Amino acid sequence: APAFAELTEPDNLLVSGDKLLASSGNAIYSVAAGATPTVVETFPSAVTALTLSPSGELTVGLESGKLLISGKEV
């Protein structure tokens, strides 16, 4: 399949509603065919995990060991 987007360090992928989210380094991007990836959120360290909670909240694991749910550390 042909590439439809470019990120410097593509890693975790997540489908959220009608969006494709991907982490690259310390940022999460919204990725769509034919469009430039846009930054959704950045963090102080690299993103190592990306998922949605059962209630649909964005959950992010960081290389620093922090876990964030909807931007709040748990």
Contact 63, 48 (CB under 8 A): yes
CA 1/CA 48 separation, integer angstroms:
26
Query: 5 or 10: whose pLDDT is higher?
Result: 10
Helix, strand, coil fractions of the chain, as percent rounded to 5 = 0, 55, 45
Write down the residue that tokens 């410097």 correspond to: 8
Note the pLDDT tens digit of each residue in 34-48. Answer: 788 999 999 999 999
Rounded average pLDDT over 51-65: 94
Contact 59, 51 (CB under 8 A): yes
